Chain A
Amino acid sequence: MKEFAYTIKDEIGIHARPAGNLVKLIKGFSSSVTIEKEGKPAINATALMKLMGLGVKCGDTVKFTVEGDDEEAAAKAIEEFMSANL
């Protein structure tokens, strides 16, 4: 299992388009990925509407948990995606 935290730098937070792209990216891996915003229960990171519903804003820190056969690669890809887009 791999865990890491990321603090959002994008001014409007995880909005519709990056959320959609993140979901697409994660679906490409076999590992299961959850995302957790402080104070809220973790959600499955491929659930687009729930992800948008988290209301993650600029400055918020989210925690990813990646578990599965390709967890190394998945975690790396997610981290790269986050720092490039959010």
Chain B
Amino acid sequence: MVVYQGKGVYGAVAIGKVSVFKRQAAAVRRVSIEDTAAEIARVEAAKALAVEQLSAIHDKALKEVGEANAEIFEIHIMMLDDEDYNDSITSIIETQKVNAEYAVAATSDNFSEMFANMDDAYMQARAADVKDISNRLIACLTDSGSGTESSDEKMIVCADDLAPSETVSLDKDKVLAFVTAFGSSNSHTAILARNMNIPAVIGVGEDFLNSIADGDMMIVDGHTGEVFVSPDDETMKRLSAKQEDDARKKKLLQDLKGKENVTLDGTKVKIYANIGGVGGIGAVLANDAGGIGLFRSEFLYLESEDYPTEEQQFNAYRKVLESMSGKKVVIRTLDIGADKQIDYFRLDKEDNPALGFRAIRICLTRPEIFRTQLRALYRASAFGELGIMFPMITSVSEVEKCLAMCGEVKKELDDAGIRYNDKTEVGIMIETPAAAVISDKLAPLVDFFSVGTNDLTQYTLACDRQNAKLESFVDTHHEAVLRLIEMSAKNAHANNAWIGICGELAADLTLTEAFLRMGIDELSVSPPFVLPLREKVRSIDLNK
């Protein structure tokens, strides 16, 4: 058994035989020709064929992955029709007296290089599009198709990389999963796989294709990103069980998907999901969460070598908001401290990081960092239903300072003529006992509260979360914590604010009824807990 590790882009297990994706060898030969007009005519004919193929792919994509994802193929058709692109091909044929394939390949290199060298990630990705259309044109010229050996059996398709058009062209009914040696989880191909509900693992590494052959047994675990070639019995047993577990969950999903989060007596509650990066969006949607109740923005800072720019942050926030297409997304501003170190922040080492210089305290002390994040958030607010949430609040004056900063940022955007959603909700975390106790003073200032039960418990019970020795002293259902939550809920509602819970307690099914009785409006849990929680809510009767 050989195990490869890549990135899982769709969480499911597939067990089956390998089918290696065969592509027309990219090596295009340069051949001298005499009749340049005939070569140009060949290009024209190939182009017509390529446009025909792309139109068919566009129609297939429209049905399988929706309009927004199918659009790329319409753009491919336009790119094939581009004057400069075509002029370049024609002129290489005429001036160098070479074959059409070579002229297309050379043109492809020039144009894709132009895009690859641009300083904008969106435009860099267009380099792959240029290569994709050019390879199609070359394939049309040489009249050799690409694809997998046709077989009646469902197979696991393995490739070095798959272009978007190749992914969509695969016959969905014959593909169990796909595995690629290269590629990133944000690529168009990964997004398409997610939308097609096909288990996929990408970026397993260069030597992968050398060690597999058609017909090899393989297990693909899209949850963990593991790929097992010729799995042993024990692995086979373990992954089969996981596959059955997936099937059970899928059934739960089918039964509960689209259903309301409503109790037997008709009380409704919102169930949202918590995620820590753009990669979590697939799981949020797959589990039918009504929105994102906590989007941790730290990943942007942790993944970066230096402070992430406004543009980088804006692109990430916009992506989340657009992916959630109008559903609520609550993004929490930077929440780091001495326990979650980031080198370039140069934070001092502290004896007591939980009570130290962290979260909003850093943001209010270093407003340039905070301002960049708020600008990115407000700019992104034009693309969906954003809520902005401040962590570690303990006082009225902190909230007032945050709101003043929001006001300044909005004014800057107004002055620059940049759009944002003026109705963007602003809220705070209730995670310190202080905030809960003065929640009557805080609620009038904000649109919502979200209770972070992990920190609220740690601070209320004076028990360090990191200290394993204290476990027996931490009663996660401690009445003091529950009273603080109830107090916050009352004060929120008295001031027309809503209140959610985004800590671990939100997923604790033994407390769901208690939370509903307190009038909690929203529970935000990690994606796999959304449907079990929905099931629980639907079994509760508050009249009893």
Contact = CB atoms under 8 A, between A and B. Distances in A.
Residue of B74, B83, B114, B315 with highest tally of chain A CB at under 10 A? B83
Contacts of B315: 12
B208 interface: no
B283 interface: no
A44 B87 CA distance: 13
A65 interface: no
Interface stretch (A15-23, A34-42, A71-79): A15-23
Question: Which of the four size classes fits the interface of chain A?
Answer: 20 to 34
B416 A49 contact: no
Contact of B78 (A9, A12, A20, A59): A20
Nearest to A20: B78
B123 A52 contact: yes
A12 B114 CA distance: 18
A68 B418 CA distance: 34
B332 interface: no
Contact of A9 (B118, B119, B417): B417
Contacts, number: 60
A50 interface: yes
Given A49-B84, A50-B84, A53-B118, A9 B79 contact: no
Contact of A57 (B75, B120, B126): B120
A16 B126 contact: yes
A2 to B, nearest CB: 22
Contacts of B74: 17, 20
B82 A48 contact: yes
Interface in A1-25: 7, 9, 11-13, 15-17, 20, 23-24
A46 B83 contact: yes
B168 to A, nearest CB: 17
B123 A47 contact: no
Contacts of A23: 78
A62 B115 CA distance: 20
B75 A20 contact: yes
B79 A49 contact: yes
Interface in B48-83: 71-72, 74-75, 78-79, 81-83
Given A53-B114, A59-B416, A47 B122 contact: no
Contacts of A17: 71, 74-75
Interface residues of B, number: 32
A49 B111 contact: yes
Contacts of B75: 16-17, 20
A58 B82 contact: no
A55 B79 contact: no
Contacts of B114: 49, 53
Contact of B82 (A9, A12, A47, A59): A47
Contact of A11 (B82, B85, B120, B383): B383
B7 interface: no
B419 interface: yes
Nearest to A49: B82
A55 B120 contact: yes
Contacts of B119: 55
Interface in B366-400: 379, 382-383
A55 B83 contact: no
A9 B84 contact: no
A47 B126 contact: no
Nearest to B380: A11
Interface string B294-336: 0000000000000000000011001000000000000000000
B419 A9 contact: yes
Contact of A12 (B71, B84, B122): B122
Nearest to B119: A55
Nearest to B87: A47
A48 B74 CA distance: 13
A18 B126 CA distance: 14
A49 B118 contact: no
A68 to B, nearest CB: 17
Contact of B418 (A9, A16, A49, A55): A9
A64 B85 CA distance: 22
B84 A47 contact: yes
A7 B416 CA distance: 11
Given A9-B417, A47-B82, 18 more contacts: A7-B417, A9-B418, A11-B318, A11-B383, A16-B72, A16-B126, A16-B129, A17-B71, A17-B75, A20-B74, A20-B78, A23-B78, A48-B78, A48-B81, A48-B84, A49-B82, A52-B115, A57-B120
- Which 3 A/B pairs are nearest by Cβ-Cβ distance? A20-B78, A48-B82, A16-B75
14 contacts: A12-B122, A13-B120, A16-B126, A17-B75, A20-B74, A20-B78, A47-B83, A47-B84, A48-B82, A49-B82, A49-B111, A50-B84, A53-B118, A55-B119
